[in-house]
Structure 1
Amino acid sequence: MPTVITDDAVTLNYLDEGTGPAVVLIAGFCAPATTWVLQQKVLVQAGYRVLALDRRGHGASEAPTYGASMERHGRDVADFLAAVGVTDAILIGGSMGASTIWSYVSQFGTEHVRAIVSVDQTPKMVNSDDWSNGFYGLTEDNRGTFFDNGIPDTGHGIPKWKSVPSLLRLALALRALPRMASPDTPPMKTLLADHAAQDWRATIAGTDKPYLMVAGRDSQFWPAAHAFESVENNPRGRSVVLEQCGHAANMDRPNEFNTAMLEFLESVW
């Protein structure tokens, strides 16, 4: 598999398939690039070049003890785009992968961005007086300890057993189970805590390129309303809610998600 090296000497793995306009796929916390397999094939068939990136600490990329922050993960996207020579990218991120994109945009702007798709990621994880679409139960008062024992069961959304068909579908397409990173290492715990502290609402509101906010109606982590509320102050934004769908929208409802994704990309061009 091809690799690139970041400006702080970390080797990142990526997948590269197809020709045409570049689509960069960035998976969420602990998930490897291969979890986009159900989108990769569809995008290649639609005439896109698909680059799926393993973030540091994820998939086959190097897992250093340093750089476990959203700021650094955003810089990695900049290094990656420069290394592969992509100057007009469609960026698609799932969960923390979407936050990685907003981190990149907040630091480097949208000069090299054609459009953005966020897959079930609220722009602000902490609930507050002016934001009720954060992670269920997460407040500023408990943020410091909320994820100490991993990602808690919120009691919301689709129960875990209903996600089994999605995992089987993914494993069948890959002919193997995806290689998930451990959430229990010090760098991954630090990354999750840093992710929980971020607020991308201003970055999203100021985005000057088309963007689509996708939400799962039955997400286990936060209300689907985050998608609509993230576009109401920016005419370039659109939102869609997938019914009977959990947090992993591109895996739970791949057909519906792919349709929404391709329709949005078609409108961009």
Structure 2
Amino acid sequence: MGRVSTAVGLGAAAAAAVGAAAAGVKADRVAADRRRLGVLDPEGGFTHTAGKELTVVAADGVQLHVEVDEPAEPDPALPTVVLTHGYTLSLRSWIFQRRALVKAGYRVVLWDQRNHGRSEASDLGQLTMEQLADDLRAVIDAAAPEGPVALVGHSMGGMTTMALARHHADLVKERVVAVALLATAAAGDGITDLGLGPLVGRAIGQGAPRLLSRLAPTQRWLSPVRKAGRRVEDAVIDFYGFDSPVSEELVRFAADIILATPFEVMAAFIPVLRDHDEIDTLAAFADKDALVLCGEGDKLTPLDRSELIAERLPEAEFVVVRDAGHLIMLEHPELVTGQILALLDRAEARSAAAEATARTGRGTTGRKTKRTITDIAKGRKVKAARTKAARTKADSTTARPSKTKNGPRKAGS
């Protein structure tokens, strides 16, 4: 069970890892090597009070939890930014982006996809991409009924965004001015390989629904033993979620979100992701300002997934982040937020350019190229923290009393 548990996927693997810990598997077997640094934690912590909370009723009656943040002086000319989270996550995963976007003057709408976070659970048979697209449409209609909209989707949230373009083309055509697709895929074939290759990874990935369904009845009994199995749990989240140093608190924050998702929901969504295919739908975003962003070390939606999207959206900004994994918006929050803000700036500039084109009859377009960037600011923080830790360790070693043949000797004597 321990071997299988570490390869089921971000949510599934974490769940199975806790089960493995409960069964007595030694955590040392999957201990993380990466150092976690508290200096990387945000000043405001990991909690946020929404400006407003809504309950949006989906077409089939399921109640969706929605939160809205508004700037002190909202500008109606700016688009409302709608953030859609990924598989086994919740709107809490956008904690850093929502703060920054509101500070920059944007109205922000976030929601928990059905059976995730604080949204109501529907029948598992209702978990389809078409249904998720309908849910997103309902959220936009209720929380942002007028004005321009910018869509930002991570992982499964990006897939939901693509599905929206197919099932609600009118909304996308008329109101969407920008779209950001983060760490996602336009086709689900092989998406459960988990970075282990098509043979081993796919075999384990396809067995995940059955494994998780078997674990589901025991989920409520696992909470008391999670503390004992933290090292296993953290190691799996760390391995599949990140590709650079992150703090212990961030790993715990991510793990708490992921493991709040019921195992049977994790299981039900895996075939939905695997059968996802919206490659042709990407054409609906061809005339929008678009951002395709992924981590170079993403094991769940690898680089080639984003490359395929970028091929279909040649005018999109295609950004690859070094030392970044699947949970890129948590791992490199300032960098990701900066790219989203740059996208919104381009959308505003495009609007102005469109007006100029209408007057002059001239416009410009051009194919974008892939850019690979590094989070320099985070790198500096990590280096400074490690240097400080090394000095502290050296000072404590120097100050530690040493023993001689005649007994203890004070430092410096």
Answer whether TM exceeds 0.5 for this pair: yes
* Gap runs ≥5 in structure 1: 151-157
* Gap runs ≥5 in structure 2: 1-52, 213-237, 349-413
1:245 aligned partner, one-letter code = A
Map residues 29-48 of structure 1 onto 2, 5 A cutoff.
29-48=87-106
How far is 1:97 from its partner?
A: 0.7
Residue 193 of structure 1, aligned match among 245, 251, 271: 271
1:79 aligned partner, one-letter code = A
How far is 1:53 from its partner?
A: 0.8
Residue of structure 1 equivalent to 2:8: none
2:154 aligned partner, one-letter code = G
Q: Compared with structure 1, are the counterparts of its residues 170 and 90 closer, same or farther at alpha carbon in structure 2 (3 Å cutoff)?
A: farther
Residue of structure 2 equivalent to 1:154: none
Map residues 1-269 of structure 1 onto 2, 5 A cutoff.
1-18=53-70, 19-20=74-75, 21-66=79-124, 67-84=126-143, 85-109=145-169, 110-111=172-173, 112-127=175-190, 136=195, 137-138=197-198, 145=207, 147-149=209-211, 159=239, 165=246, 168-169=249-250, 177-178=256-257, 180-185=259-264, 187-208=265-286, 209-269=288-348
Secondary structure at the aligned position of 2:59 is classed as coil
Taking structure 1 as the reference length, the TM-score comes to 0.83
Identity percentage of aligned residues: 24
Residue by residue over 1:166-208, the C-alpha shift from the partner in whole angstroms, topping out at 9 and shown as x without a partner, is 5624878x9x9547542511x4422221111111211114423
Residue by residue over 1:8-54, the C-alpha shift from the partner in whole angstroms, topping out at 9 and shown as x without a partner, is 11111111001342001111111111110100011001110011111
Residue by residue over 1:92-137, the C-alpha shift from the partner in whole angstroms, topping out at 9 and shown as x without a partner, is 111101101111111111133121111101222214xxxx997544
Secondary structure at the aligned position of 2:109 is classed as strand
How far is 1:221 from its partner?
A: 1.5
Q: Distance in 2 between matches of 1:167 and 1:91?
A: 31
Q: Is the 8 A contact 2:56 2:63 kept in 1?
A: yes
Secondary structure at the aligned position of 1:220 is classed as coil
Q: Which has the larger share of helix?
A: 2
4+ runs deviating over 6 angstroms: none
How far is 1:145 from its partner?
A: 3.8
1:119 aligned partner, one-letter code = L
Q: CA RMSD in A?
A: 3.3
